[in-house]
Chains A and B, each alone.
Chain A
Amino acid sequence: MAEVRDIQIQEPAARVAAATDELQDMHGEKMVLNMGPSHPATHGVLRIILELDGEIITKAAPDIGYLHRGDEKIAENMTYTQFIPYTDRLDYLAPLANNVAYALAVEKLMGIDKQLPPRCQFIRVICCELARISSHLLGMGAFALDIGAITVFLHTFTEREKLYNLFESLTGARFTTSYTRIGGLSRDLPPGWIEQCRKFLDEVVVNFDETETFFTRNKIFTDRTQGVGVVSREEAIDYGLTGPNLRGSGVDYDLRKAHPYLVYDQLEFEVPYGSAGDAYDRYLIRMEEMRQSVKIVRQCLDKIPGGPVNVPDMKIVLPPKERVLTKMEELIHHFINVTQGVNAPPGEVYFAAENPKGELGFYINSKGGGTPYRMKIRAPSFVNLSILSHLLPGHMVSDITAVLGSFDFVMGECDR
């Protein structure tokens, strides 16, 4: 006859206490565990060297650089426009947002960021927000997957697939979009795109509700995330966290509100921020941000004006092809623009945009001409990960996946 047993679940705190008590009688028994660089929970090639006391982490040393490609060196050796495809490969889960941030940084250096045509600015905002939805959908799905809930991943991926179809009809590519140009966009919205986008927004909101029913009041999920990976407000600021990870710790700071760029000051949206600073708060914030993004995109689709998408300066954007082939002056502009790049003034600028992962900043030091003398990419994932060695000790090994999932980093951007 089969025996029936009750499953006993201890509170995490009790588990930690029990584990430490048990370890009291074998001092010095430390074990080094290597996690990554090829580990499903490290979302790429992050490696963490852990020192364990039983199940409890006593020391954590993140090791990064496995995806280092030298993007900053590459940027010094090509024109501003040529670097746009490389920005796709920074945060490769939100390439459109990177394209926009980079283009705005160069435009700030050129002094034309306030002269962008309104249609261009609205399309760029739509791009940024769709990229945010795409990135958060993947982040949520992967977070769930890491802590053992596979269903959510399938739900969020279905929506993400629709988004990639939208990106494909907009830019011609699903992943590596390279959509922006210095002073504009590579192309205008294709016919019928706005209707497709509206249809997607109606569908994705339903999906958010479904995803929330999986998560928000799920006992297993709350047990594994509440009180795990707690970052205080002071620590978050001291370690330079940005994006949802900063707001999870209760700092009401969003670059779209604090230093509005594009047309964000004309749009109505709210910035969610947390109070507990744990993995659960960071999850809640991402869910709410996606809803706010939907709200922003809807407003943009309603308000989007007609007109050109590029600045009317042939020395910055390429002239139309038929004029290049028939007019002398346009041919010269085209030639100079392609071979030497845009003529940026000497000077230095720092521009940061609120990307899905946090503050993506470009510091450009120019000595004039079409190539930056030095370009520094301030990648949010790089800075966000630097807190790990401070945050992980004291947690259980199984909490690592919850902490890493809630930080939602991407190594393409971290290692550059």
Chain B
Amino acid sequence: MTAGELATQLKAKFGDLLSEATEFRGELTLIAADAERIAEVCAFAKKDLGFDYLVDITSIDNYGDDPRWTLVYHLYGYGHRAHLRLKTSVSEEKSELPTVTTVWRTADWHEREIYDMMGVRFRGHPDLRRILMWEGYPYFPLRKDFPLAGKPSDLPEVAFTNTTPMAGGPFVTIAGGKDTIAREPRVRIPETDSLATTNRVERRADIKDAHGEGFGPGPIEPKK
């Protein structure tokens, strides 16, 4: 069965909900007027028309237009080997539509990615969390009003912790120094240490902050 026949069958079932199929470069696109019924359309396409493989879900930000979000579903059937594209729109106020994870389980990560990147929510999704950005990230980076250079935001606490134990301690090499011997930790016996860069002085302060007095190598004595 060709994609054209399948599109006609889908259109016959749902009538006015779906637009006439448009063709561009040999690909058929159907537009669903009501995003609330997209899961229903998808379920029918899978069960009765044999579209058993969901290739991809994508979102488009029509910034400045209403409705703002366009969702694009790429369907494929291993039986008839035909592609079909379904599109639907959601307004910015609503930013929500039903999930299709109940139809194809591969939709799980695709929908999470759309939520993460654009901020469109999927009702009924089993686990709608951010996927590429970290939990707690405040923006949706693929929106058109998000600048390419990014915006400053707080990183999660796990990204920066206190000084690791032994940072700059007696067994850790430190950048700087005139040769590898000077960087080698074993030669830096605290009392006779000759490598006193500002970097090391700071690190020693870090160790003191982190572990209190008496930890790490002793005070740096001036060169004689």
Contact = CB atoms under 8 A, between A and B. Distances in A.
Interface residues on A, range: 35 or more
Contacts of B29: 348
A73 B55 contact: no
B53 interface: yes
Nearest to B144: A76
B83 A73 contact: no
Contacts of B105: 238-239, 390
A15 interface: no
Nearest to A74: B148
B131 A64 contact: yes
A73 B25 contact: no
B153 to A, nearest CB: 14
B132 A361 contact: no
B25 A363 contact: no
Contacts of A352: 55
A84 interface: no
Contacts of B221: none
B40 to A, nearest CB: 19
B60 A361 contact: no
Contact of A240 (B61, B104, B133): B104
Contacts of B141: 70, 73
A383 B25 contact: no
A77 B55 contact: no
Interface in B42-64: 52-56, 58, 60-61
B24 interface: yes
A72 interface: yes
Interface in B71-88: 72, 74, 78, 81, 83, 85
Contacts of B81: 258-259
A68 interface: yes
A65 B78 contact: no
Nearest to A385: B109
A378 B56 contact: yes
| Most B CB within 10 A of own CB, among A378, A415, A416 | A378
Given A64-B132, A77-B148, A415-B132, A72 B142 contact: yes
Interface residues of B, number: 35
B60 A239 contact: no
Contacts of B72: 348, 363, 365, 376
B173 interface: no
Contacts of B34: none
A237 B53 contact: yes
B106 A383 contact: yes
B61 A347 contact: no
A18 B51 CA distance: 43
A251 B131 CA distance: 29
Given A73-B142, A376-B58, A349 B106 contact: no
Given A65-B132, A237-B52, A363-B72, A350 B27 contact: yes
A108 to B, nearest CB: 6
B148 A383 contact: no
Contacts of A77: 148
Contacts of A386: 106, 108-109
A109 interface: yes
Given A237-B52, A240-B53, A376-B58, A382 B78 contact: no
A240 B106 contact: yes
A111 B25 CA distance: 7
Given A73-B142, A374-B58, A349 B24 contact: yes
A192 B111 CA distance: 49
B109 A65 contact: no
Contacts of A64: 131-132
Interface in B142-186: 142, 146, 148
Nearest to A253: B78
Contact of B85 (A109, A350, A383): A350
A278 interface: no
B215 interface: no
A164 interface: no
B80 to A, nearest CB: 11
| Most A CB within 10 A of own CB, among B109, B113, B134 | B109
Contacts of B142: 70, 72-73
Nearest to B105: A238
A65 B137 CA distance: 13
Contacts of B113: 382
A359 interface: yes
A238 B78 contact: no
Contacts of A363: 56, 58, 72, 74
Contacts of A72: 117, 142
A238 B24 contact: no
A74 B29 CA distance: 26
13 contacts: A65-B131, A70-B142, A73-B141, A73-B148, A237-B53, A238-B105, A239-B106, A347-B25, A348-B72, A349-B27, A363-B56, A363-B58, A363-B74
Interface of B: 24-25, 27, 29, 52-56, 58, 60-61, 72, 74, 78, 81, 83, 85, 104-106, 108-110, 113, 117, 130-134, 141-142, 146, 148
The 10 closest A-B pairs by CB, nearest first: A240-B106, A65-B132, A386-B109, A376-B58, A378-B56, A68-B132, A347-B24, A374-B60, A238-B105, A239-B106
Given A348-B27, A352-B55, A416-B132, 8 more contacts: A238-B106, A239-B105, A240-B55, A363-B58, A363-B72, A376-B58, A378-B56, A378-B74
